[in-house]
Amino acid sequence: MKNNIKTRFSSAFEEDVFTGLTSNPRYLLSKYIYDKKGDKLFQDIMDLPEYYLTNCEFDILRNHTAEIVEKFTGHEGFDLIELGAGDGKKTKLLLKYLVDQNLDFNYLPVDISQNALEELEKSLKNEIPEVPIKIQQGTYFETLEKLSTFNTRKKVILVLGSNIGNLLHENAIDFLKHIQEVMSMEDMLFIGFDQKKHPQKILDAYNDASGVTEAFNKNLLVRINSELGGNFNPDQFLHWETYNPETGTAKSFLVSKIDQDINIESLDLKIHFDPWQTIHTEISQKYDDAVVKWLAEKAGLTVADCFMDENNYYKNYIFTKK
């Protein structure tokens, strides 16, 4: 329980942590996993053998590069805007081909993490210095407001890595609607959706044997300790993953192993955890063609094409405006 009500917060992080930990059931927003340490842990996750998503999408982009770029190109060049760019490992396949073909484009990677963007810019200058890059730090929705100014030529909006899977369907439709509203008729959205598959394959992807995903989720507690004066002991929380094959929803939780009190100094907050009480940290939605088509239609978009890996684990769809 909380010992008082705090009404003024010095940051969005403070307010969101307070709101999440005083809610019932408790939750923390996954976007706050991504500080410098969290970014590194996620890069490690993408290299795990259990985390099939990265390799599947990488194979799609590598095996269909020419076909995909042909869909992208416009009469007067185009702006390639990537939401949630991360380290750009997969996107570099497209960027290299675009440069080799001497195509007219600008690359505008967007990410909530300034650290990730700076690392991406640095790596591109070393690996593909010809890429015209303009990094954009901010949340998806903040950046989508800026997108409305990019209307002099074709926009190609990339959302790779099944980032949309972090949103419930209602929020995913809202997200797609925001993109649809800044699109002209010639623009396109190229977006990845992880597909429904054997439930154990999905569970393993978010609960690796080496414990990297556990450390990734617990980085929320580490950040609260270091930035807000918390006294969480991450070892006293269990990382737990669930998957519902009916809804296609994977969820991650941190579960208190013991009866414990937590103090967070900057929030003037004291909260009690009973044994096995949970904090919900992440959602990762899985899809099939029917659900993707339904989401697109609800957002005023049309599925124009799609590309898949050889196992049909993962698909990149092209959406256009209705």
Is the pLDDT score of 5 beyond 70? no
Q: Percentages helix, strand, coil for the chain, rounded to the nearest 5?
A: 40, 25, 30
Share of the chain above pLDDT 90, in %: 84
Residue 278, beta-bridge partner list: 255
Examine the domain organization and report whether 176 and 309 are in the same domain. Answer: yes
Examine the domain organization and report whether 123 and 230 are in the same domain. Answer: no
The DSSP 8-state label assigned to residue 195 in this structure reads B
Examine the domain organization and report whether 129 and 29 are in the same domain. Answer: no
Quick: pLDDT tens for 223-279.
Answer: 999 999 999 999 999 999 999 999 999 999 999 999 999 999 999 999 999 999 999
The pTM score is 0.89
Examine the domain organization and report whether 170 and 75 are in the same domain. Answer: yes
Examine the domain organization and report whether 302 and 281 are in the same domain. Answer: no
What three-state secondary structure class fits 189?
strand
Q: Which residue has the tokens 């697109």?
A: 296
Q: Please indicate, yes or no, if residue 2 is contained in any of the structural domains.
A: no
Q: Please indicate, yes or no, if residue 184 is contained in any of the structural domains.
A: yes
Contacts of 176 (CB under 8 A, 6+ apart): 164, 189, 295, 296, 298, 299, 301, 319
Nearest one of 192, 127, 124, 199 to 157, comparing CA atoms: 192
Nearest one of 167, 181, 183, 156 to 68, comparing CA atoms: 156
Q: Please indicate, yes or no, if residue 107 is contained in any of the structural domains.
A: yes
Is the pLDDT score of 9 beyond 60? yes
Q: Which amino acid, residue 148? A: S
Examine the domain organization and report whether 206 and 183 are in the same domain. Answer: no
Nearest one of 107, 139, 138 to 123, comparing CA atoms: 107
User: Can you give the residue range of the structural domain that contains 124?
Assistant: 64-195+287-321
2 confidence band (pLDDT: 50, 70, 90): very low
Examine the domain organization and report whether 21 and 77 are in the same domain. Answer: no
C-alpha to C-alpha distance for 147 and 219, rounded to whole angstroms: 31
What the block records as the tokens of 277 is 């009480």
CA distances from 230 to 28, 53, 265, 288 (A): 14, 34, 6, 41
Examine the domain organization and report whether 178 and 297 are in the same domain. Answer: yes
Quick: pLDDT tens for 263-299.
Answer: 999 999 999 999 999 999 999 999 999 999 999 999 9
Examine the domain organization and report whether 297 and 268 are in the same domain. Answer: no
The three state secondary structure string of 209-235 is: CCCHHHHHHHHHHHHHHHHHCECCCHH
| Tally of CB atoms within 10 A around 78 | 22
Residue 1 burial by Cβ neighbours in a 10 Å radius (0-12, 13-18, 19+): exposed
Quick: pLDDT tens for 66-94.
Answer: 999 999 997 889 999 999 888 888 999 99
What's the whole-number mean pLDDT along residues 54-64? 96
3 confidence band (pLDDT: 50, 70, 90): very low
